[in-house]
Homo-oligomer: A and B are copies of this chain.
Amino acid sequence: MLAELITIGDEILIGQIVDTNSAWMAQELNAIGVKVKQITSVSDNREHILAALHEASKRADIVLITGGLGPTKDDITKSTLCDYFGGGLTFSDLQYAQVDKLFRSFGREVTEINRKQAEIPERCELIVNYNGTAPGMWFQKDEVYYMSMPGVPYEMKAMMETQVIPKIRDKFSLPVIVHRTFLTQGIGESILSEMISAWEDALPNNMKLAYLPSPGMVRLRISAFGENDAQVASEVQQQATSLYNLIGQHIYGEGDQTIEAIIIDILRKTNKTLSLAESCTGGNIAHLLTSIPGASDAFVGGAVVYTSKMKVDILGVNPETLSNYGIVSEEVVREMALGAIQKFNSDFAIAVSGVAGPGADKDGNPVGCIWIAIAGKDFTYAKKFQFSTNRERNITMASYAALNFLRKQLIDN
């Protein structure tokens, strides 16, 4: 079963927005055994959209289209869909009721431009958008199914999860595919590859391994195909056991887990609390933790201390420690962590101080040199890391290294 994704919009081709929808949709499709053959981005242009639809129909059984459905005037997608599938536009009372409801919830009247959003091609089956004003549309032509959805990510996602995926499962008899993704932190792609090369070479033919690196992390994904759910899952489990034997100490989780969610989860279950003392990570660790719903059960707060004076005033770091050892030092980062535990009255704390870049610091520490400490009521551990020369990467890599440093300590206790 093959799918093709088409994203419509000059905004993608002029590079003003990143197409995050396609990756998400591909994940959802893969999870139900639909393979994405190709992802294509085309312009808001009738001929180009028509050509892309024709091409895709030759390669795929399902074509998912996003974008080109906003309320502004540059959108021509709906009339082009009428050209492709035949028929004209018709006013949908069901879709209009949704637009009206949404405007009312914001205390506004429906504008003329939004009223037009209730017009849909008469050959389509409406897929109601409960989160926005642009309609979803489901078509069939010859043996191929087409779904057109708005480009706004959370509108598209809700539509996929509640309506499109169930429809696809319903229309097709799908093969068995099992994915399992192992999340590693703190070890590079090439070192990892050498550690598992013998295992990788011996993988059976129905399995494929992919390396998915991002700053500070490498995800390893096994994809296995077969006829029988339980059989394939058990084959994958066997390989997973071997993989854990080889590199288990570097695997912090699986699938969609994040280190931040794992930490919040461990802390909640043990009724413990965490605080932060961030210098060069500048609030990013706090941001990662507070992105998790329910973080407030375990995360009490943090200080972003971007100057020496603030490290003293807010966290109680000893001014002599700063002058004797420098801001980026084991001693300072330890005192920051202990200061956070005391000021925020938490069970654990993470502290980070280093040189994010672009320049070296005045003590001569190079860009990417970052000290991280973790502390509890009865321990402090500090470790020096040397990351990259890029500010953004350093902030990200230090944040994940710090979180994983704490995670290892939490599960060891």
Contacts and interface: CB of A to CB of B under 8 A. Distances in A.
A61 to B, nearest CB: 15
Contact of A283 (B12, B17, B52, B290): B290
Contact of A13 (B26, B219, B285, B301): B26
Interface string A28-57: 111000011111111100001000100000
Interface stretch (A224-232, A375-383, A389-397): A389-397
A344 interface: yes
Nearest to A75: B211
Contacts of A287: 282-284, 286-287, 395
B40 A13 contact: no
Q: How many monomers of this chain does the complex have?
A: 2
A308 to B, nearest CB: 10
Q: Which of the four size classes fits the interface of chain A?
A: 35 or more
Nearest to A357: B293
B11 A15 contact: no
Contact of A286 (B152, B283, B357): B283
Nearest to A214: B17
Given A193-B73, A291-B395, A305-B301, A16 B210 contact: yes
A99 to B, nearest CB: 11
Chain B CB count within 10 A is highest, among A22, A41, A179, for: A41
Interface of A is mostly: mixed
A60 to B, nearest CB: 12
Contact of A15 (B23, B304, B345, B391): B23
Contact of A181 (B16, B111, B285, B301): B16
A133 B10 CA distance: 34
Contacts of A223: 14
Interface in A302-350: 302-307, 309-310, 313-314, 343-345
Contacts of A211: 70, 72, 74
B11 A212 contact: yes
A23 B19 contact: yes
Contacts of A197: 73
Contacts of A26: 12-15
Contacts of A146: none
A411 interface: no
A392 B313 contact: no
A208 B278 CA distance: 45
Contacts of A113: 190, 193-194
Interface of A: 10-20, 22-30, 35-43, 48, 52, 70-74, 111, 113-114, 133, 152, 154, 179, 181, 189-191, 193-194, 197, 200, 208-214, 219, 221, 223, 276, 278, 280-287, 289-291, 293, 295-296, 299-307, 309-310, 313-314, 343-345, 356-358, 390-393, 395
Given A13-B35, A71-B189, A74-B210, 8 more contacts: A12-B23, A18-B19, A38-B42, A70-B211, A70-B213, A282-B287, A283-B302, A300-B309
